[in-house]
Every structure is written in structure tokens, then in C-alpha cells.
Chain A
């Protein structure tokens, strides 16, 4: 998996590269829009991490140019402007995801990983992680043969975690996908819900499936 990081702020580019490399990605970095277009034309990348504010040609213009060239490479936009409307503008210009600065590294990594899996995302109606199953048609969850009662929100959270099984999910990402919030509410809503879901799917069962990722998120996986 090869990622191109386009970010003019050198320190930010550096720790983003380190974090992605630590997750097993091959990472190329460039610092302006023209270089990004040249690099993207020369090498097929799996994901582009693109800052909007770049010297010269800005990120949105790079994105439009890429899409004009019929490139379908998934693009994650980064922005320090943090305008509510910018997100919509970015997605309309062909971006696949948008992350406002300052972001959590785990959040960024989780989103990049989600984008690499995007094309292969399954449309299964029965999700399975170890002996935990979730039927997305009937909204029924079962573990070890026992039925687990879930509220609507708990179901959506579990579905999201199971669809992302094996990948860490950042808090903002969960708020976005499960709650459809485009803002950081500054509450511990996600943590409280995770605790409840964990009680329902992990209490009394082995192995444990739902883990906290240090720093900023959660992961549902079979224990190694």
C-alpha cells in the first residue's frame, strides 16, 4: 500500500509519514501542489493525503485536476481552515474523506486505512468477528449462540465497528458515521456508548473483542 502525503508544513508531513510507515504503508511526501500532480501522474498511489492550504496551487485545485484526469485514487483532505462548508465543498470536488486540523494521528491512520479498504468493502448482510455475528437486515446480534439486545444507536455503533473490524476507529470518525455529527461535541458520548456495547458483547465471553487504542480510538478484533 502506497500513500502520497502532500503537506507543506514539514513537521506535520514528517510525523504523518512516521505514523503511516509504522502502520506498514509506503509513504511519499511532497510539499506543493505541482509536485503532487507530477508524483501522482508518475506513480499509482493507493491513497492521497492532501492538505488544502498549499503554496501555489492549493489542494482543492490539485484534487479537481486529478479528477479531471480520471484518477480514482481515494483522497483524504486535510484542512486548517475548519469551515463547515469546506467539508461539503471538498467532498463535492471529489474527495473521499475530510479531516480538519488539528487531528489525532490515530484518526488520520484509521481514515487512510478505511480508504484503502473502501473498494473492497463488503456488502455482507451477516457480519462476523470470532463468534460474534450481526445480521444487518434484522439488526440481530448474537454471541456464542446467545442473543444480544441492542438499542438503535448501539446497533449502529456495533455495525460500524464490525464493518471496520481489525482497523482502529477514531472518535471523530465514530461520531461522524454513527451519530452523523460534523462537530466535536466535547463530550464523552462515544466512550460511554463503547462501554455499554463492550458490556454487552464482551462481558462473560472469551476472548475479548473490543479494545481501546491508546490515545484516541477503538478497535474490534479477534485477539492475536
Chain B
């Protein structure tokens, strides 16, 4: 029950009681008192003069004809008054609802009239400012951390490669250096992914938007998918590829498609399959990619887009990856104003759906 309804009910009850009291008083004044006076003045005459029924009806009709409209007017006025005074709360609620980690920089509009609600807005705003500050610190930390990691990583990688090139290593040292280089490459991909996401969070990545034929990108991506799938014995199909254009950044959309195609092959099974499709439905381009394989357990599903989150299944399979692929995919889709979803039936199939607004 909203405050407004609750207050209005109370208000109506009070009006009703006031009306009753008014009726009783009126009855007392118009009926009881005149009778007592009459009794006092004419006690010689015949007693027990019957109460005039008309008076009782008069009282009732006065109460009904004047009191009830007055009461209704009062309740309606109160309803309107409450609406007016509670409106800032409603707008405060709407504005607060829109706040997420992405727009903490925004502030709620204040009235500056010094009332309780203005004070509440002020408190909200200062809380937002503190939150915004903390979020920015975390973002900056991630950004700086990924930058700081790059220099030592460059040195490590360069020196390992130099050692390998100089041919002065024993066979065992050589193997060790090659394995280190593999790990360094992985670390590089992680740091690159982290830098990209930290920049995206800080709003420092600008998309190079143009009108793009998504079906051409999908066909192109499908060609790569065929090649990626072949060594794994995975069958690939392009179920549909309807002509559709979107506003987007070519590089980022290709990165998204390749990332999803690569996952569909990596998390597949031998003799499995991958199906892609692109359809146009109204003002949206719907892209699906379905793959067979172990699938994702339902308890893990809500977290697959989280950074570095890996289900036990992925750990067990020893699949190579940086743990940021789906986070990056999600960022690319939302930066294009679209939606990405993932559904999975364990041991059967996993479906990734991407919906982008058309150009």
C-alpha cells in the first residue's frame, strides 16, 4: 500500500467520524434542546409531546446533502494535495532507479526550496558522489595496473625471445623458455583484455560508427569458423543469413563474432556441431550461435559474463583462454545498444543470442 493510499484512507475515516459527530451535535441542537426548552416552558400543559419526525429527517438530510459533498471534496482535495507533495518522491524514485554503475556521474535534480525532500535529494546526491568516487578509483586502479604490467611484460617477453634466438640454451632450458613464452603470451592477452575493459568502463573507448552490412560480417566470420572447426572435427552450418544493416564499429563487431565462433568451437565435443544464423525481425538483427558440447550448468549461467569467472567445467577441460572473452563480448554488444544472452542445456547445447538494433 502506498503512503498516498494509506494517508487517504486515514483521512477518509477521520472525515467520516467528523461527519458522525457533526450529525450527533446537530441532532442535539435541533431536537433535544428545543424539546427540553419546550418542556421547561410548557410544563403546565400536556406532557409527552411526541418528537416531530420531520426534525429528525431534517438533520439527516442536512448531514447528507451538505456534509457528504463537503467530505468528498475534502477527501479529493487531500488526495490531490498528497499527490502534489509526494510527487518529488516519485520523481526521486524514478531518477534513482536509473542509476547504475555506468552513470554514477549523474545527479538528481534539486528544488532548492529547503524542504525535507530537497534535503533528502541532497543526501542522495552526496552518497552518489561518494560512490562515483569509489568506482572511479577502482577503474583508475585497474587501468593503471594494466599499464604498469605492460612494461615488465614487454621486457620479460623480449628477453625470453632474445634468449631463444641466441641459440645458447641447452635443450631443457630451451623447453623452459618456450613454455614461459606461452605463458607470457597468455598474460599479454589477459592484460590487453583488462586494459580494453578498464578503458571501456572509464568511457575512454570510442566506437568508430558506420553503417555496416551485418550479414557480410557474419558470412566472413562463418568462413573463419569453418577453418577453426575443421581440426576439431566439428561440423558447421549457416542456417540463415538475411540481409541486415546495423550502425556499428566494424572491428569491434568482427571481434565479437570471432570471439563467439571461437568459443563455440573450443567448448564443443568431437563430432559436434555449430550452427549460426542471422535474421531480421522488425527493428532488430537477431544473431544466434548454437553449439553442442558439455554446456554450462545452470548455477554458473548467470555469471558467465563476469570477468575472470570460470565454471568448474572450464577448469576441468583445460580450455585455453584469457577469461575475459565473454565480458568483452558483452561490452561490445551493450556499446552497440544491443542485448546478449546465453542459454544452455547441459550435455546438449548452448545458445548465444545477440540482438542489435538495425541501422
Instruction: List B contacts of A104 (CB < 8 A).
Output: 157, 161
Once the chains bind, are A19 and B162 in contact (CB under 8 Å)?
yes
Once the chains bind, are A181 and B255 in contact (CB under 8 Å)?
yes
Residue of B153, B162, B255 touching A102 (CB-CB under 8 A): B153
| A153 sits at the interface (CB 8 A) | yes
CB distance from B323 to the nearest CB of A (A): 11
- The docked-state distance in angstroms from the alpha carbon of A157 to that of B262 is 20
Instruction: List B contacts of A68 (CB < 8 A).
Output: none
Once the chains bind, are A192 and B230 in contact (CB under 8 Å)?
yes
Central interface residue in A102, A103, A181, by most chain B CB within 10 Å = A102
Once the chains bind, are A189 and B155 in contact (CB under 8 Å)?
no
Residue of B154, B196, B204 touching A12 (CB-CB under 8 A): B154
Central interface residue in A16, A18, A85, A101, by most chain B CB within 10 Å = A101
Once the chains bind, are A187 and B162 in contact (CB under 8 Å)?
no
- The docked-state distance in angstroms from the alpha carbon of A182 to that of B252 is 9
- In the complex, identify which listed stretch (A75-83, A135-143, A204-212) lies at the interface while the others stay far away: A75-83
Once the chains bind, are B165 and A105 in contact (CB under 8 Å)?
yes
Once the chains bind, are A193 and B165 in contact (CB under 8 Å)?
no
Residue of A9, A105, A152 touching B161 (CB-CB under 8 A): A105
Instruction: List A contacts of B188 (CB < 8 A).
Output: 102, 184
- The docked-state distance in angstroms from the alpha carbon of A159 to that of B205 is 33
Instruction: List B contacts of A81 (CB < 8 A).
Output: 147
Assuming the contacts A153-B223, A186-B189, asked whether A215 and B164 have C-beta atoms less than 8 A apart, the reply is yes
| B33 sits at the interface (CB 8 A) | no
Once the chains bind, are A192 and B157 in contact (CB under 8 Å)?
no
| A67 sits at the interface (CB 8 A) | no
CB distance from A194 to the nearest CB of B (A): 11
Q: Which residues 158-200 of A sit at the B interface, judged by CB distance below 8 A? A: 181-189, 192-193, 196
Instruction: List A contacts of B71 (CB < 8 A).
Output: none
Assuming the contacts A80-B150, A101-B154, A181-B255, asked whether A186 and B325 have C-beta atoms less than 8 A apart, the reply is yes
Once the chains bind, are B254 and A181 in contact (CB under 8 Å)?
yes
Once the chains bind, are A189 and B224 in contact (CB under 8 Å)?
yes
Which size bracket describes the interface of A in this complex? Answer: 35 or more
| A69 sits at the interface (CB 8 A) | no
Chain B interface residue count, Cβ-Cβ cutoff 8 angstroms: 41
> Closest B-chain residue to A182, C-beta based?
B251
> Closest A-chain residue to B322, C-beta based?
A186
CB distance from A23 to the nearest CB of B (A): 10
| A22 sits at the interface (CB 8 A) | yes
Once the chains bind, are A15 and B162 in contact (CB under 8 Å)?
yes
| A123 sits at the interface (CB 8 A) | no
- The docked-state distance in angstroms from the alpha carbon of A183 to that of B154 is 17
Once the chains bind, are A101 and B223 in contact (CB under 8 Å)?
no
Once the chains bind, are B147 and A80 in contact (CB under 8 Å)?
yes
Contact with B along A74-110 (1 / 0, CB 8 A): 0000001111110000000000000011111110000
| A70 sits at the interface (CB 8 A) | no
Assuming the contacts A15-B162, A84-B251, A181-B255, asked whether A102 and B189 have C-beta atoms less than 8 A apart, the reply is no
| B69 sits at the interface (CB 8 A) | no
CB distance from A188 to the nearest CB of B (A): 8
| A43 sits at the interface (CB 8 A) | no
Once the chains bind, are A193 and B227 in contact (CB under 8 Å)?
yes
| B192 sits at the interface (CB 8 A) | yes
Q: Which residues 95-151 of A sit at the B interface, judged by CB distance below 8 A? A: 100-106, 151
- The docked-state distance in angstroms from the alpha carbon of A66 to that of B289 is 49
- The docked-state distance in angstroms from the alpha carbon of A184 to that of B262 is 13
Once the chains bind, are B164 and A214 in contact (CB under 8 Å)?
yes
Residue of A106, A187, A196 touching B262 (CB-CB under 8 A): A187
Q: Which residues 251-267 of B sit at the A interface, judged by CB distance below 8 A? A: 251, 254-255, 258-259, 262
Once the chains bind, are A192 and B147 in contact (CB under 8 Å)?
no
- The docked-state distance in angstroms from the alpha carbon of A185 to that of B193 is 10
| B195 sits at the interface (CB 8 A) | yes
Which B residues are within 8 Å of any A CB, using their own CB? 147, 150-151, 153-159, 161-162, 164-165, 181, 184, 188-189, 191-192, 195-196, 199, 204-206, 223-224, 227-228, 230-231, 251, 254-255, 258-259, 262, 321-322, 325
Extra 19 A-B pairs, beta carbons < 8 Å, given A12-B154, A82-B150, A105-B161? A9-B154, A19-B161, A22-B165, A80-B150, A82-B195, A83-B204, A100-B192, A101-B154, A102-B154, A103-B154, A105-B158, A182-B251, A183-B192, A184-B192, A185-B258, A186-B189, A192-B227, A193-B227, A214-B165
What are 9 A-B pairs at a CB distance below 8 A? A12-B154, A12-B155, A19-B158, A83-B204, A104-B161, A105-B162, A153-B224, A184-B189, A185-B262
Per CB-CB distance, the 10 closest pairs between chain A and chain B, nearest first, are A102-B154, A15-B158, A105-B161, A80-B150, A102-B153, A101-B154, A11-B155, A187-B262, A15-B162, A102-B157
